Structure 1
Amino acid sequence: MTSRTALIVRGGWDGHHPVQTTEMFLPFLRDNGFEVRIEESPRVYADADAMTRVDLVVQTVTMGEADPDSIAGLSRAVAAGTGLAGWHGGIVDSYRQDSAYLHLVGGQFAAHPKKDPGERGDEATDAFVEHRIEITDLGRTHEITRGIGDFTLVTEQYWVLHDDLNDVLATTTHPVRVDEPWHRPVVSPAVWTRQWGRGRVFVATPGHDPAVLAEPNVRAIVERGLLWASRHASV
C-alpha cells in the first residue's frame, strides 16, 4: 500500500480529550497506509516544506490560538491538495479569533443548548440532550454516509454558523426550548464536506468524548471522512 502522511495536531481544552480521542484512530490510519506525525501545536502549519508532505491533517484543538502564519500555512496546504478533517470542537471551535480559519473550515460552533431547566442537575452533562442525526439526500449517496441511516445520540448537540459552500451530508434540528430566545426549530449541519482549492475538508460535529466517537455510526462516518479527505482519497 502506498504510504501517506497524516498530521495530527491536538491540544486545547482537555474536556474534549484530544489525546485519547486521536489515539482511537491511530490504528485505523496506520492500517490504511498512513505514517502518522503528532504535534501539540498548530505552529507546524507554518512549515511550508513539512506541509507539502502531508496528505491529511487531523485538526483536534478546541479553542486555543494560532498565529496568522500558521493559519495561512494550513490554508495554503489545503488549497494545494492536503486534506483537512476533524470532529466536534477540535475543528469547529478552534482559533476563534481567526476569520481565515473559519473561512477554511466552513462552520463555527455557536452553542450547544442545554436541557430544559427542570431536567438539569449536573453541569457536566446539562448539555447532553437526546437528538437525531438525519442523513440528507446527498448523504444517502455520498461515500462517507452511504448506507448509514438516521440515528440518535445523547450528547452535546452543536449549533454551528455556516455557509453555502458546504456540502451537507447530515443535519440535526434544535427544538424550541422554554428558556431560550429562538421561536422555531433550527436545522444545523452535523456532517459536511467542503472543497477548498484542490483540497478536501471533512467535518463531523458529534465527538464530544471517546464514548460518542465509539458509537458505530459516528465512528464509521469519521473513519470514512478521514479517508475521503486525504490527498489520495480511498474509501
Structure 2
Amino acid sequence: MKIGIICDDYWHPGTTVKQGLEPLGTEGFQFEFIQHASEWTRIWMDGQDAVVLAKSNQISARDKMPWLTDEIQAHFVDYVEQGKGLLVLHSGTVGYREERTFFELIGGVFNMHPEACQVTMSYTDEAMLPIETAKSFSMHDEHYYVEVIDERIHVFLTSTSEHGTQPAGWVREQGKGRVCVLTPGHFLEALKHPDYQAAIAGALKWCSGYHNKV
C-alpha cells in the first residue's frame, strides 16, 4: 500500500512523525513523506492509496502561515469521495477550526490540551478497525481535547487522564472513501508504543480498504 504522509510544523517536527511511522513499513506500507506544504499536489495525492495528515495548519516548521486553502480543502473532499482514505493523526487536527470544509470532512478538530500526563486509551468498538491489540493501554502523552460533530462520526477509541475523558479515535465515510482520526501521538515514545502502532496500522488498512481486499 502506498501511503503519502504530510507532516512537519513548529510544534510537531517531521522527523518525529517519520521515526514513529517508519517501523510500520513491516506491515506492507510504502511511505512517501512531504514536509513542506508547497510540495503537495493533487497528482501526488492521487498516487497514494491513503494519505496521513500529521501537520497542523502551517506551511512548515519555519513558516507558520496557513497552508490549507479553500481549493486544497476541496481536493481533500474529492479525494475521499472518489474512494481513497485519509488518516488524520494528532497534529492533523490542529488549526483547522475555521476551515469548515475540512472540519466537516474529518468530523472534529483540536481544542486544547493540558500538560502532558499519563493517558489511558480504551476501545469502545474494536470491530471498526482490523486491530489485534489490548482493549486498553496507557502512555505518557498530550491529552487532546477536541471539538467534534457528533452526528458525523463513530467513536471507537477514548482517552482518559486525570483531566477527564475525550474521543481519541473515530471514523466516518463520505462518498466512496473513508476518514479516520487518531488524536494521540505527540511524543516519539507514544507513536512507537506497540499498541498504538497496532492502532495506526489498523487505521491505515481500514482507510485504504485493505481489509476488504484480503
Give the TM-score normalised by structure 2: 0.82
Kept after mapping to 2: 8 A contact 1:174/1:188: no
Q: Could you tell me how far 1:102 is from its partner in structure 2?
A: 1.0
Q: Distance in 2 between matches of 1:52 and 1:135?
A: 32
What is the aligned partner in structure 1 of residue 20 from structure 2? 24
Paired letter, 1:134 = S
Q: Distance in 2 between matches of 1:76 and 1:143?
A: 23
Could you give the per-residue CA deviations for residues 208-231 of structure 1, whole angstroms, max 9, x where no partner exists?
A: 111111112111111221122115
Paired letter, 2:192 = A
What is the aligned partner in structure 2 of residue 133 from structure 1? 121
Q: Confirm or deny that 1:59 pairs with 2:37.
A: no
Cα gap change, 1:232/1:41 in structure 2, threshold over 3 Å: closer, same or farther? farther
What is the aligned partner in structure 2 of residue 12 from structure 1? 9
What is the aligned partner in structure 2 of residue 159 from structure 1? 145
Q: Could you tell me how far 1:83 is from its partner in structure 2?
A: 0.7
SS, match of residue 25 in structure 1 = helix
SS, match of residue 154 in structure 1 = strand
Q: Distance in 1 between matches of 2:175 and 2:37?
A: 21
Kept after mapping to 2: 8 A contact 1:109/1:159: yes
Kept after mapping to 2: 8 A contact 1:83/1:199: yes
Q: Confirm or deny that 1:37 pairs with 2:32.
A: yes
Between the two proteins, the alignment pairs up a number of residues equal to 204
Q: Distance in 2 between matches of 1:61 and 1:72?
A: 18
Q: Could you tell me how far 1:43 is from its partner in structure 2?
A: 5.1
Kept after mapping to 2: 8 A contact 1:95/1:101: yes
What is the aligned partner in structure 2 of residue 68 from structure 1? 70
Q: Distance in 1 between matches of 2:205 and 2:159?
A: 24
SS, match of residue 224 in structure 1 = helix
Matches within 5 A, 1:178-217: 187-217=165-195
Q: Could you tell me how far 1:172 is from its partner in structure 2?
A: 2.4
SS, match of residue 84 in structure 1 = strand
The structure having more radius of gyration, on CA atoms, is 1
What is the aligned partner in structure 1 of residue 88 from structure 2? 86
RMSD: 2.5
Q: Which runs of 5+ in 2 are unaligned?
A: 59-65
Could you tell me the percent identity over the aligned residues? 24
Paired letter, 2:128 = H
Kept after mapping to 2: 8 A contact 1:43/1:70: no
Kept after mapping to 1: 8 A contact 2:111/2:144: yes
Could you give the per-residue CA deviations for residues 174-209 of structure 1, whole angstroms, max 9, x where no partner exists?
A: 656xxxxxxxx5x42111111121111121111011
Could you give the per-residue CA deviations for residues 26-76 of structure 1, whole angstroms, max 9, x where no partner exists?
A: 352475153x332234456652x4433321101111231211111111111
What is the aligned partner in structure 2 of residue 104 from structure 1? 105
SS, match of residue 12 in structure 1 = coil
SS, match of residue 54 in structure 1 = coil
Q: Distance in 2 between matches of 1:53 and 1:147?
A: 30
Give the TM-score normalised by structure 1: 0.76
Kept after mapping to 1: 8 A contact 2:96/2:109: no
Q: Distance in 2 between matches of 1:29 and 1:148?
A: 21
Paired letter, 2:101 = A
Kept after mapping to 2: 8 A contact 1:11/1:18: yes
SS, match of residue 109 in structure 2 = strand
Q: Which runs of 5+ in 1 are unaligned?
A: 114-126, 177-184
Paired letter, 2:46 = T
